[in-house]
Amino acid sequence: MCQLWLLLGAVICFLPVSVYLLENGLARTPPMGWLAWERFRCNTDCKNDPDNCISEQLFRTMTDLVVSQGYAAVGYQYINVDDCWLEKERNIHGQLVPDRQRFPSGMKSLADYVHAKGLKFGIYQDFGNYTCAGYPGILGYLQVDAETFGSWDVDYVKLDGCYAHPSEMDRGYPEFGYYLNQTGKAMVYSCSWPVYQIYAGMQPNYTAIIQHCNLWRNFDDIQDSWDSVQSIMDYYGNNQDTVVPNSGPGHWNDPDMLIIGNFGLSYEQSKTQMAIWAILAAPLLMSVDLRTIRPEYKAILQNKKIIAVDQDPLGIQGRRIYKHKGIEIWSRPITPLYQNYFSYAIAFVNRRTDGTPSDVAVTLKELGLVSPTGYRVEDLYEDVDYGVLTPQTKIKVKVNPSGVVILRADVQPDFNRRVPYYSTQRTPYNPLNQVFKVRSNGFSFP
């Protein structure tokens, strides 16, 4: 609680970090939506490029398409503005001002437009003197900006970390979250807190981060390339013992945007990004021109079965359980559950460059799927139903170069036993020492 001290007629309010705990009840599953940055960057040239500049017209257009093209129907709900929406100076009251030429109607009007379409509205700021693109930052104005966002009916705030000292973030990010809470308007809070500290050689305090942020960035910005996607996969695979335990309902690791449908990924690589992001329980924030996206890429983004994996209510982030000679296997525990056993999503990734598909053969038991009642297995891209398989069954998948095969294995109930399908007496799940144990000598490759 805030302790009040009267001294020389002044009231001094000490606000320890502990009172800043996030209290919005949001993001119980990873947020899904559309974000401008990777595709449209900081294009402010509305005179010469009016269709692609950062403007209220761009965001209204994308809002319309998210609804009319079926994205909202499968779960995408946020329309998020990123950097470069501001005037270069605050107004005389110290408040942020949207660029008057590119956002002539103002942010409250844009938020109202998004809400009228049944979607939610997100905005960007920076915990520094400036945003990354050089617009006014939040330092010195934390309460003012939180109140401004509340008055604009914002649903989601991304707080970047350019032009800020990483050592101040342990105090500053919680403080801004506190002011967001104080507005009375529940807003998803996306933080760049840990990534800037990692860049500075600091060890992020994830215990604090998960108490104050709904999601956070751990690693580099994604670029429009397969190399970038692979580097992010490597980061999460190589550091999973550190990052996986921090993820769960209300607080998520964020590997950055989906770049599916842009220029840098092939069809196979796009399928891989979508599958791995689902295994990682990642926010699904598309950054693509929805006006020109090709149907096959749209189908990847709207794959309901893979979205269901990403949005699984258990919120357990998956892990890389095998890596050898360019073949990787990633696994995520999901619902439904039966007794002590989870269902799973399993992704087989081929990162070889030899130009031919690779066969991977493994038993369910070697993947950690050991329920004696078996699992119903299906391919989530090809809609192949393998039926109910036992743990001893060996499955064989053919994985294209830079591609993926993602399977869902739903544990089956044993109707001959008098145990509820969703047992409340199951053993507590510990992903670090229980199910992610795979014998590498059980896998076979050509």
Residue-wise pLDDT for 299-309, tens only, equals 999 999 999 99
Q: Single out the residue in 251, 275, 310 at which a domain terminates.
A: 310
In a domain, 1, yes or no: no
CA–centroid distance for 20 within its chain = 23
Whether residues 217 and 332 fall in one domain: no
User: Is 126 annotated in the active site?
Assistant: no
In a domain, 203, yes or no: yes
Whether residues 251 and 336 fall in one domain: no
Whether residues 139 and 215 fall in one domain: yes
So what's the pLDDT on residue 251?
Answer: 97
Task: Mention every residue, 6+ apart, whose C-beta is less than 8 A from residue 399.
Answer: 327, 348, 349, 350, 357, 358, 359, 360, 405
Q: Which two tokens stand for residue 188?
A: 């998803």
Give mean pLDDT, residues 350-373: 96
Separation of alpha carbons 194 and 218, rounded Å: 6
In a domain, 14, yes or no: no
Q: Single out the residue in 310, 327, 345 at which a domain terminates.
A: 310
In a domain, 197, yes or no: yes
Dihedrals φ, ψ of 431, to 5°?
Answer: -65, -20
- pLDDT greater than 60 at residue 421: no
Whether residues 32 and 174 fall in one domain: yes
In a domain, 10, yes or no: no
**Domain CATH for 411:** 2.60.40.1180
Whether residues 219 and 350 fall in one domain: no
**Domain CATH for 160:** 3.20.20.70
pLDDT tens-digit readout, 374-420:
999 999 999 899 999 999 999 999 999 999 999 999 999 985 543 33
Split at pLDDT 50, 70, 90, the class of 364 is very high
Split at pLDDT 50, 70, 90, the class of 442 is very low
Quote the pTM value: 0.91
For the ranges 7-16, 50-59, 277-286, which has the lowest average pLDDT?
Answer: 7-16
- pLDDT greater than 70 at residue 428: no
Whether residues 339 and 253 fall in one domain: no
In a domain, 13, yes or no: no
So what's the pLDDT on residue 290?
Answer: 98
Report the residue count for the chain.
446
pLDDT tens-digit readout, 32-79:
999 999 999 999 999 999 999 999 999 999 999 999 999 999 999 999
Whether residues 235 and 368 fall in one domain: no
Among 82, 160, 256, 410, which one carries the catalytic annotation? 160
Q: What percent of the chain has pLDDT over 90?
A: 86
Q: What is the largest CA-CA distance in the chain?
A: 81
So what's the pLDDT on residue 229?
Answer: 98
In a domain, 207, yes or no: yes
Question: Total structural domains in the chain?
Answer: 2
User: Is 359 annotated in the active site?
Assistant: no
Domain that holds residue 352: 319-442
Among 112, 153, 220, 221, which one carries the catalytic annotation? 221
Whether residues 274 and 341 fall in one domain: no
Residue type, 169: M
Q: Single out the residue in 283, 310, 337 at which a domain terminates.
A: 310
In a domain, 280, yes or no: yes
So what's the pLDDT on residue 176?
Answer: 98
